[in-house]
Amino acid sequence: MAHFARSTSLRGLSRATARVELASSRSSWSRVASTTQNRAYSAPASKAAAQKSSMSTKTFTALGVAAAAAAFWSQKPAIQTVECEAPPKKDEKKKSSKTAEDDKKRKLEGLTPDSPMRLRMEAFNKQLQAEITARLEKLDGVGKFKVDSWNRVEGGDGISMVMQDGKVFEKAGVGVSVVYGMLPPAAVAQMRAQHPNIAATKEAMPFFATGISCVIHPHNPNAPTVHFNYRYFELGSEDGGEPVSWWFGGGCDLTPTILYEEDAVHFHRVIKEACDKHDPRYYRDFKKWCDEYFYIPHRGERRGVGGIFFDDLDDKKPDELFAFVQTCGKAFLDQYVPIMERRKDMSFSDADKHWQQIRRGRYVEFNLVYDRGTKFGLLTPGARIESILMTMPLTARWEYMHEPDLKAHARLMETLRVPREWIPL
């Protein structure tokens, strides 16, 4: 029988978050993988960065987590119950993992600064989702997010929130996923390249992954599409101990149809300031990584004007990297809302709209052919396909032998082929 997701319990959400204590010290889980000492970011953080790495009272308190989320969810009395997984194969039996069951108990008891990182990252993701969707609804003025909640038999859950055909946004999706499962030996072997502390095995290994992903496609072609994703991954045993390996990943990038250089500068400046609070090398290196990652080889161009991208980040203590990810996630509204306020009501022509559809085609090509997150999701047993593909625009266009109007879009095309440095380093 197909598994159907249960609706989110608002009472449970409040109970699981309301007992979070003010953080004045780091988690006792402060391990750094010994194999990372030769990695690019193994140098100790500065004293100031170390102080910022402790969970601040601004981001992980009962007020910060519970109040922001509860205020938003209180206006969402009806949450759609959705089908999450395909019917099991013949003789296939699914069951929740021991770690997932133990984590349910931990959340009911209340999170603390010493709770496992996976639970703290999950709580942050859901708080950030509530804050961002509330702000986007206010900016749109008409559109409302459809909220789907789903659960997995093996453990985990998710909340997919999608706005379609709003006044400002043609489609905006903000999703949170929490997944417990078993990783096949072939996938484990691939991960050993970046994480040599993972032992070779012919057996599947338990894993945990949580992330927040957001993609926004505005109606107005003067307003850029935007994307961000921040995630945490664990590979470990079922005995409730520390994971064998863990890392953070994520990033953000801007994809304009019509290039306004001041918008690109603003987007990059805000995320550079976020990076600089934790490591002066982060923006420089992660911006370059972003330009390389969002390259579409068969087109010879990038998806957009970049931002930052990082993956397999485990070079510092978990709390330090968690603080970095929180700073980046919290920076998103400052990155994007001012741009939207400038562009959402600008006039545009049919030619502008046509060009927007062509550029969205490139966006789809990258996501379906090259994006790691999309491919990982599609290959994960029990994954919810609707949530994975919510990043797709409502409309896109492909034309045979299309040639761009270089008089109108030469600067954009040049930037997509040769990335620019938007902020002096």
How many residues does this entry show for the chain? 425
- Terminal Cα-to-Cα distance of the chain (whole angstroms): 56
CA angle 33, 34, 35 (to 5 degrees): 90
- H/E stretch holding 319 reads helix 318-343
Report d(CA 226, CA 172) in Å as an integer.
10
- The token pair that represents 273 in the structure block: 């300031």
Burial class (CB in 10 A: 0-12, 13-18, 19+), 276: middle
Helix ranges (H only) for 4-58 are 10-17, 47-53
Distance of CA 332 to the CA centre of its chain: 11
The 10 Å Cβ neighbour count of residue 342 is 15
The SS3 call for residue 236 is coil
SS3 for 30?
coil
Q: How far is CA 44 from the centre of its chain?
A: 26
Residue with token string 């603080």: 323
Amino acid at 190: Q
CA 158/CA 106 separation, integer angstroms:
18
Listed in sequence order, the DSSP H helices in 93-177 are 98-109, 117-140
Instruction: Output DSSP code: residue 331.
Output: H
Contact 331, 251 (CB under 8 A): no
DSSP state of 36: G
* 227 belongs to the catalytic site: yes
Q: Considering the candidates 195, 217, 227, 278, report the single residue annotated as catalytic.
A: 227
- Using CA atoms, how far residue 90 sits from 83, 150, 154, 382, in Å, is 19, 23, 17, 15
Kindly list the catalytic residues: 227
